[in-house]
Amino acid sequence: MQLQNSALWRTQALINGEWLAGSRQFAVLNPADGSVLAQVADLGADDTRRAIEAAAAAMPAWQQLPAVQRSNVLWRWYELLLDNQEDLARLMTAEQGKPLAESRGEIAYGASYVRWFAEEARRVYGDIIPLPQADRRGLVIHQPVGVVAAITPWNFPNAMIARKVAPALAAGCAVVLKPAAETPLSALAMAELALQAGVPAGIFNVITATDAPAVGAEMTSNPQVRKVTFTGSTPVGKLLLQQCATTVKRTSMELGGNAPVIIFDDADLDLAINGTLAAKFRNAGQTCICSNRLLVQAGIYPEFVRRLQEAVAAFRVGNGMDEGVTQGPLISPQAVAKVHAKVQAAQAGGAQLVCGGELSPLGEYFYPPTILTGVTPAMAVWQEEIFGPVAPVLKFTTEAEAIALANDTNAGLAAYLFSRDMGRCWRVSEALQYGMVGVNETAISSEQIPFGGVKESGSGREGSKYGLQDYLETKYICMGGLQR
Ligand SMILES: NC(=O)C1=CN([C@@H]2O[C@H](COP(=O)(O)OP(=O)(O)OC[C@H]3O[C@@H](n4cnc5c(N)ncnc54)[C@H](O)[C@@H]3O)[C@@H](O)[C@H]2O)C=CC1
Ligand SMILES: O=C(O)[C@H](O)CS(=O)(=O)O
């Protein structure tokens, strides 16, 4: 693959500042055509253990640095990520499939977390507590939680890593990362730039592996790991939580979603259509905060469906590297099969196909943007996270009905509503059982907001002024003998 900066082409794992070929490799495929992009080191539990030991050995010197020195290294990493934005974007589109414009946007988005935590690194303040006894004072200080194990998904192969590794390093922690086997090249390129930025050997390690359960078992059971941060599906998150219990690790879980978009009769229809399109079809619908369920009030329903179909007809599906392509392939033929099965089951249950819904002539990795109407809450396409370019639409009548339908799920990550009635916006926002709510907007993510869910969408928050807390422990010191 042609890169301007050949140093970013890394196919070996990183342990203690050394690149490791491993005794075997696995193939990384290009989802645009199924071709082999690279052969990448395929490590296991023993390598993971060595990386954890290296992280534990390197961490004391890193955490004892003045915070401004950690901040300076993160600033340099931020600059290098942006300097190499085009190469990083091309690597991402090649291994994940999203259109180049989306990849460029994700690189900037991931870098924004590194910049944010370069700033936050210098603001880990404590407290002085005036105790009831005159001869002592209470102190509160915050210290790094310890060695962090991070496991990330393939759908945002740069940003999901940045929003874990940046706060961990800012707090003074060392990290062992296992990226998704589908998208290791983005992770390894990020690690190369971290080394160039001055991240010391052992502070940022990358375990590339196909045997995720074996690597995860080591991460969750090794007592030297004090924190596991995971972004991925809810079933895997639940397994990791169980595994972490044996050594009582701190955890952050960013899990699956099932986002409703509620469009009321009084909505600004242009805003609602544009917001729904963006939230539904970004990354071919493979995002945890995609609008998974469209709830449209009866009065606006016909016009909304017509306008949505019109907009979807203008999409261009193809290879993400080709300029003008608005939707790339899904991550695998298996993902396409899962999405298509949900569409077929919905139709068998009485849903109507407005557009799409057929296997693509472009090949087994592609699926057309699809709109279903007449969907019922009993259907899998409504109950489960679709993770594909399918928009199931359901007509509702009252506000109370919409809230009940929206909350009828175990997920609780993001929800959206469109209305010009301020009272309704407040009432519905507060009634929705989600960690994040977009009102008249679906582009809600940024490094400055607390990203995360409730219920079975996880725990912890990434980004914002709250994000560093996930990588810090709070220590109380009673300073006595002050009158001796
Ligand atoms: N809440 C959030 O911020 C996000 C949630 N997600 C969710 O992730 C899912 C899609 O991503 P996928 O990569 O398919 O999810 P996944 O859960 O299958 O994989 C995520 C990561 O976990 C690893 N993994 C899988 N099984 C494991 C095990 N037994 N032990 C340790 N690690 C294991 C994978 O190799 C990968 O690195 C969707 O459900 C999506 O909603 C994705 C991105 C963001
Ligand atoms: O994986 C995801 O869906 C991302 O967390 C969504 S976002 O942060 O890129 O909006």
Per-residue pLDDT tens digits of the chain, which is 484 residues long = 999 999 999 999 999 999 999 999 999 999 999 999 999 999 999 999 999 999 999 999 999 999 999 999 999 999 999 999 999 999 999 999 999 999 999 999 999 999 999 999 999 999 999 999 999 999 999 999 999 999 999 999 999 999 999 999 999 999 999 999 999 999 999 999 999 999 999 999 999 999 999 999 999 999 999 999 999 999 999 999 999 999 999 999 999 999 999 999 999 999 999 999 999 999 999 999 999 999 999 999 999 999 999 999 999 999 999 999 999 999 999 999 999 999 999 999 999 999 999 999 999 999 999 999 999 999 999 999 999 999 999 999 999 999 999 999 999 999 999 999 999 999 999 999 999 999 999 999 999 999 999 999 999 999 999 999 999 999 999 999 999 9
> What ligand is nearest to the CA atom of residue 108?
2
pLDDT at 221: 98
- CATH C-level class of 259-410+414-446: alpha beta
| Class of domain 6-256+456-476 as given by CATH | alpha beta
Ligand 2 atom nearest to 451, measured from its CA: 8
Relative orientation angle of helices 159-171 and 67-83, to the nearest 10 degrees:
160
Burial (Cβ within 10 Å: 0-12, 13-18, ≥19) of residue 66: exposed
- Locate 44 and state its tokens: 């296991």
Which ranges in the chain are annotated with CATH 3.40.605.10? 6-256+456-476
**Ligand 1 centroid to residue 155 C-alpha, Å:** 9
Q: Going by DSSP bridges, is the β-strand pair 291-297/390-396 parallel, antiparallel, or unpaired?
A: parallel
SS3 assignment, position 394: strand
Tokens coding 394: 């359901």
Using CB distances shorter than 6 Å, the residues near ligand 2 are 155-156, 159, 287-289, 445, 451
| Sign of torsion over alpha carbons 444, 320, 157, 358 | positive
User: Which pLDDT does position 306 carry in this prediction?
Assistant: 98
Decide: 412 in ligand 1 pocket, CB within 6 A: no
Distances (CA, A) of 243 to 153, 205, 238, 393, 471: 19, 21, 9, 38, 19
CB of 415 within 6 A of ligand 1: the answer is no
> How many Å apart are CA 335 and CA 367, to the nearest integer?
10
Q: Does ligand 1 have an atom closer than 6 angstroms to the CB of 212?
A: yes
- Could you tell which of 215, 233, 456, 461 is best to mutate to test the pocket of ligand 1, judged by most ligand atoms within 8 Å of the CB? 233
Please tell me the distance from the alpha carbon of residue 148 to that of residue 169, in angstroms, as a whole number: 10
Listed in order, the ranges of the chain carrying CATH 3.40.309.10 are: 259-410+414-446
Instruction: Report whether residue 254 contacts ligand 1, using a CB cutoff of 6 Å.
Output: yes
CA of 337 to the centre of ligand 1 (A): 18
Would you state the pLDDT for residue 208? 98
For ligand 1, whether the C-beta of 385 sits within 6 Å is yes
Q: How far is the CA of 321 from the centre of ligand 2 (A)?
A: 21
Contacts of 98 (CB under 8 A, 6+ apart): 92, 106, 283, 284, 320, 328
Q: Active-site residue 447, yes or no? A: no
Atom of ligand 1 nearest to the CA of 209: 35
Six token digits for residue 39? 């052969």
Angle between helices 184-197 and 85-96 (to 10 degrees): 160
- C-alpha 43/C-alpha 40 separation (Å) is 9
pLDDT of residue 203: 99
Catalytic annotation, pick one of 102, 182, 218, 254 = 254
Instruction: Pick the closest to residue 237 from 254, 220, 221 (CA basis).
Output: 254
CA distance 206 to 55: 11
The reported pTM is 0.98
30 phi and psi, to 5 degrees?
-90, 110
- The predicted pLDDT at position 141 comes to 98
pLDDT, residue 382, reads: 98
Q: How far is the CA of 399 from the centre of ligand 1 (A)?
A: 34
How far apart, in whole angstroms, are the C-alpha atoms of residue 128 and residue 137? 7
- Nearest CA residue ID for atom 31, ligand 1: 216
**How far, in Å, is the centroid of ligand 1 from the Cα of 235?**
9
Expressed in angstroms, the distance from the first to the final Cα of the chain is 71
Q: What is the pLDDT of residue 140?
A: 98
pLDDT at 263: 98
